[in-house]
């Protein structure tokens, strides 16, 4: 089908108040007429000319715009509206590289189509196969002003909208009076309904007829409003930049296809080291190096696997990054801890913040070298530093757009994290990178505010004996013209909930200048992602050829190609426990940031033994599993309560046995963007009961997790779609009927986990204390047939650390009519055996069992009538394919 236009008689619009926010008045603005429409192959261009008397709602309406529509792939349409008369800010290609269009695309064969009305201009996106409209601006004129852009689309009633994060709302967004604000801020307590740390202006809309996606590539502050007062609609209100939309067709049958299409735009997730899937421990509040050492030893004594020890800003001297406190965390003692960890196949990570202490003339190397390289973010006049007040007191901020900043950051990492003379970290943790500042607006005197807030805070304990014994046995681009724009108080104020709401409150000033002429007003939401890129590059430089683990707080679209993310400073309460599930589903299932987790047991306030036990079990199914809390809270390491310790041991046994399964899922995500976590509706897109569910989820493709979500109860009501499931521990079959089921007797050290029918799982035979030890453990294959009696699965393995592994192994599992076939390319030596195959749902004792076509003795297999499990002993080296058949 060609581009089409329907010509309507233009409406005569009266002028409206310049301060009105009434949607009816905004909808009465004149909009634009499309003229000079030209099509060339897969591209349409047009001039959009103001269609009547301007509204001038939040500034002067732009008279003429340029429309460019490109069918970039069969499933992706790029719609871009710009002001051809001025160089307006756009997200730099250096931050989000644009995908290359497929030159062979034929619009007549595309899965979605673009349609427009010329006068007044509106456009729609519809599905080719069904003519179903997916996005439509009909009756909602586009408004384009210097500091205000508005686009509004109609939605179906009770629309299923997901994404538009980062947020702590329900996974399926409410459609009544909902505002999602995009403006990075330090959001202590991660309040619901508020703007938080990161910004991902992508949403998926799911219908029983299919799932599609809409991505707006714009980093300026914005409110996205969803309302159903007069028909359901979604409205963008943006305070700068351009309109740069990507429309994704998704699929009519497989919701995960839209995730892969989004990955084609922003990039697929990075592969992370195998060891990063182990359990991590941290706390803000370890008083000294002895505390850190004791935690390591107590985990070992409690037989709880600890893979990585983390240290928060406590280790720093006066909270200055790239320092250690010589009295509390002396370098030689910290190096002793790191050496111990490495000798026991464990790992170490430290916190690094972006704000650098402003200390002219005091010999603080990181500041002095930054001055020498002139890489600090500048004040609006361009001649002085843009100052803030953060943990070390008055600070400056690196300008990530400065071409010298990457070399500066890499050198600081090289100097401080030097394996020979510094601290040999295995991963990096970056925080406060919204960027956060404690300075209240207007921050006219950061020195006075730092003094008032006691920054840096004084130590409250005496330093330890520097020679105290530790680690022994223990019982536990271009310049944009903003002249005339009000950057501090734009005409349209987004619903920023930081402090006073002023854009510069609690962050770097929005009129701060970057070296390339850009201002923070436009690039603010990119700061955390750019720090992430610089930190990733610094880690690659100091560990060439090795994958990085970088965990950040603030992210923008595409951040997952380099870093992982934790959900910020949550509270030790059941609300945050519950909404962490929607948080990880958003990051891993939509935003392509799959290495994600929440602070287990909660960051702020005091946890309880039962909450921490439940959270340890839920947290084992976060891709990134870390216990972390604040210095104002009680200690919450898992070994501190018997119930929590046992819950941790139980669930880490499950997590570690599944580690190769999730590692394989991450490899697939890296290859094509397939989600590693799945809401139930991804797997059951025709079952409306699954659409709102965000207290259950699939870990990988086939592991259904149904955590207890209420305090002091030992049961959980979970939804089981019409399908067959198998209890992970007993392996007994359970047939879902598309109804809620109450699971009883869920004690405080257990969590309901089920295998979805149709999977072949490559499990480790048993858990281990480290991932290095785990990789020496044999596999067992669990075959969980679907209702059709079939199953499939895969396994990917490599050395677990190399960016470009020299060898890899890929194994495919297929089961049908009682025959399991294992085939693969065994390039990387697994070095272990397959100890047995476990066939589930076998209703009667087998008459014959064949291994590689040869009949086996009865002693080589056993069948359990009650659990319906057939176990076949193999003990065959996992270096070649094989078959196992029962009949």
List the catalytic residues. 431, 434, 569
Core vs surface per residue 844-876: b (16+ CB within 10 A) or e: eebeebbbeeeebeeeebebeeebbbbbbbbeb
DSSP element (H, E) containing 145:
strand 143-145
Cβ–Cβ < 8 Å for 172, 187: no
Q: Give the DSSP letter of residue 97.
A: P
370 in Cβ contact with 359 (< 8 Å): no
- Rounded Cα distance between 26 and 700, Å, is 44
Contact 709, 767 (CB under 8 A): no
The dihedral built from the CA positions of residue 295, 297, 298 and 302, taken in this order, carries a sign that is positive
Total residues belonging to the chain = 887
Describe the crossing of helices 659-672 and 642-657 by its angle, rounded to 10 degrees: 60
Pair 572, 604: CB distance under 8 Å: yes
Alpha helices (H) in 267-349, listed in sequence order:
289-301, 331-343
Nearest to 684 by CA among 719, 649, 713: 719
What's the CA angle centered on 311, arms 308 and 315, to 5 degrees? Answer: 150
- CA–CA separation, 757 and 726 (whole Å): 7
Element of type H or E holding 613: helix 609-619
Compute the distance between CA of residue 819 and CA of residue 327 in angstroms, rounded to an integer: 65
Q: Give the Cα separation of 533 and 97 in Å (integer).
A: 13
Task: Centre a 10 Å sphere on the Cβ of residue 461 and count the other Cβ atoms it contains.
Answer: 8
CA 387 to chain centre: 30
Q: Closest by alpha carbon to 640, among 302, 285, 294?
A: 302
Q: How many CA atoms lie within 13 A of 728 on its CB side?
A: 22
- Take residue 528 and report the two structure tokens written for it: 């955390």
CA distance 663 to 798: 10
Q: What does the DSSP assignment read for 530-556?
A: HHHHHHHHHHHHHSTTB---EEES--B
Q: What is the spatial distance between Cα 719 and Cα 717, in angstroms, rounded to a whole number?
A: 7
Element (H, E) at 643: helix 642-657
Q: Smallest Cα–Cα separation from 494: which of 66, 149, 134, 227?
A: 149
Tell me how far apart the alpha carbons of residues 865 and 862 are, in angstroms, rounded to a whole number. 10
Q: Which residues contact 449 (CB under 8 A, 6 or more apart)?
A: 389, 438, 439, 440, 443
Task: Report residue 867 CA to chain centroid gap.
Answer: 38
Q: What is d(CA 128, CA 737) in angstroms, rounded to the nearest whole number?
A: 34
Cβ-count burial of 133 within 10 angstroms (0-12 exposed, 13-18 middle, 19+ buried)? middle
3-state SS record for 375-400? CECECCCCCCECCEEECCEEEECECC
Structure tokens at 811: 């194994």
State yes or no: cis peptide before 120, omega within 30 of 0.
yes
Q: How far is CA 877 from CA 308, 360, 764, in A?
A: 31, 63, 14
Is the CB of residue 502 less than 8 Å from the CB of residue 437? Answer: no
Give the count of beta carbons closer than 10 Å to the beta carbon of residue 880.
11
């Amino acid at each position: 089908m060609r581009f089409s236009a329907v010509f309507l008689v233009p409406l005569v619009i009266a002028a409206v108040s310049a301060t009105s926010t009434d949607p009816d008045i905004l909808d009465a603005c004149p909009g634009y007429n499309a003229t000079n429409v030209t099509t060339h192959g897969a591209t349409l261009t047009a001039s959009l000319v103001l269609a009547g008397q301007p509204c001038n709602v939040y500034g002067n309406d732009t008279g003429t715009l340029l429309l460019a529509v490109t069918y970039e792939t069969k499933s992706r349409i790029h719609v871009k509206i710009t002001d051809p008369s001025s160089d307006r800010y756009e997200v730099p290609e250096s931050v989000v590289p644009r995908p290359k269009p497929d030159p062979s695309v034929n619009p007549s064969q595309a899965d979605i189509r673009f349609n427009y009305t010329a006068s007044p201009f509106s456009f729609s996106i519809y599905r080719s196969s069904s003519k179903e409209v997916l996005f439509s601006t009909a009756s909602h004129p586009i408004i384009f002003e210097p500091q205000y852009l508005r686009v509004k689309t109609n939605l179906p009633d009770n629309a299923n909208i997901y994404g538009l994060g980062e947020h702590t709302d329900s996974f399926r967004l409410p459609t009544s009076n909902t505002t999602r604000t995009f403006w990075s801020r330090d959001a202590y307590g991660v309040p619901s309904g508020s703007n938080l740390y990161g910004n991902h202006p992508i949403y998926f809309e799911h219908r029983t007829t299919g799932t599609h996606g809409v991505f707006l590539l714009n980093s300026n502050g914005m409110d996205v409003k969803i309302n159903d007062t007069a028909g359901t609609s979604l409205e963008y209100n943006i305070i700068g930049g351009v309109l740069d939309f990507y429309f994704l067709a998704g699929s009519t049958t497989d919701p995960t296809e839209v995730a892969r299409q989004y990955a084609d735009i922003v990039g697929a997730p990075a592969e992370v080291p195998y060891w990063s899937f182990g359990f991590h421990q941290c706390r803000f509040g370890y008083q000294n190096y002895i505390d850190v050492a004791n935690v390591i030893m107590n985990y070992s004594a409690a037989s709880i696997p600890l893979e990585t020890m983390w240290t928060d800003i406590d280790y720093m001297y006066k909270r200055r990054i790239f320092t250690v406190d010589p009295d509390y965390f002396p370098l030689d003692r910290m190096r002793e801890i790191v050496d111990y960890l490495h000798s026991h196949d464990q790992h170490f990570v430290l916190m690094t913040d972006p704000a650098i202490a402003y200390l002219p003339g005091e010999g603080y190397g990181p500041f002095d070298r930054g001055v020498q390289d002139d890489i600090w973010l500048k004040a609006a006049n361009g001649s002085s530093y843009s100052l803030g007040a953060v943990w070390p007191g008055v600070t400056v901020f690196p300008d990530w757009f400065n071409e010298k900043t990457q070399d500066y950051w890499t050198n600081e990492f090289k100097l401080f994290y030097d394996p020979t003379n510094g601290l040999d970290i295995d991963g990096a943790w970056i925080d406060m990178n919204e960027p956060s500042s404690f300075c209240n607006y207007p921050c006219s005197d950061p020195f006075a505010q730092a003094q008032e807030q006691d920054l840096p805070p004084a130590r409250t304990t005496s330093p330890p004996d520097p020679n105290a014994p530790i680690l022994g046995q223990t019982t536990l681009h271009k310049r944009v013209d903003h002249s005339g724009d009000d950057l501090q108080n734009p005409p349209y104020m987004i619903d920023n909930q930081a402090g006073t709401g002023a854009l510069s409150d609690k962050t770097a000033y929005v009129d701060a200048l970057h070296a390339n002429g850009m201002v923070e007003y436009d690039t603010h939401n990119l700061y955390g992602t750019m720090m992430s890129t610089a930190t990733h590059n610094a880690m690659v430089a100091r560990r060439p050829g090795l994958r990085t683990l970088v965990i950040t707080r603030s992210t923008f679209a595409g951040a997952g190609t380099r870093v992982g993310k934790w959900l910020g400073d949550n509270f030790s309460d059941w609300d945050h426990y519950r909404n962490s599930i929607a948080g990880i589903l958003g990051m891993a299932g939509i935003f392509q940031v799959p290495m994600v987790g929440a602070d287990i047991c909660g960051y702020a306030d005091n946890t309880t033994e039962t909450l921490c036990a439940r959270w340890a079990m839920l947290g084992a199914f976060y891709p990134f599993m870390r216990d972390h809390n604040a210095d104002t809270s009680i200690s919450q390491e898992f070994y501190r309560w018997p119930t929590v310790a046992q819950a941790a041991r139980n669930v880490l046994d499950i997590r570690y046995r599944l580690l190769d399964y999730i590692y394989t899922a991450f490899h697939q995500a890296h290859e094509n963007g397939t989600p590693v976590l799945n809401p139930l509706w991804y797997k059951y897109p025709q079952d409306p009961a699954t659409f709102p569910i965000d207290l259950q989820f699939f870990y990988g493709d086939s592991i259904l997790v149904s955590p207890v979500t209420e305090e002091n109860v030992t049961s959980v009501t979970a939804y089981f779609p019409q399908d067959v499931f198998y209890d992970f521990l007993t392996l007994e079959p359970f047939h879902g009927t598309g109804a809620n089921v109450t699971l009883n007797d869920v004690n405080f050290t257990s969590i309901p986990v089920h295998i979805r029918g149709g999977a072949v799982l490559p499990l480790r035979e048993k858990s281990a204390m480290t991932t290095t030890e785990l990789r020496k453990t044999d596999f067992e294959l669990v075959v969980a047939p679907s209702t059709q009696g079939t199953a499939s699965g895969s396994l990917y393995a490599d050395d677990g650390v190399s960016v470009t592994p020299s060898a890899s192994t890929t194994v495919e599992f297929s089961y049908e009519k009682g025959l399991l076939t294992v085939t693969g390319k065994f390039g990387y030596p697994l070095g272990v055996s397959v100890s047995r195959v476990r066939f589930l749902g076998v209703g009667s004792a087998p008459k014959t069992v064949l291994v590689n076509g040869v009949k086996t003795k009865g002693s080589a297999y056993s069948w359990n009538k009650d659990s319906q499990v057939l176990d076949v002993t193999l003990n065959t080296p996992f270096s070649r394919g094989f078959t196992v058949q029962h009949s």
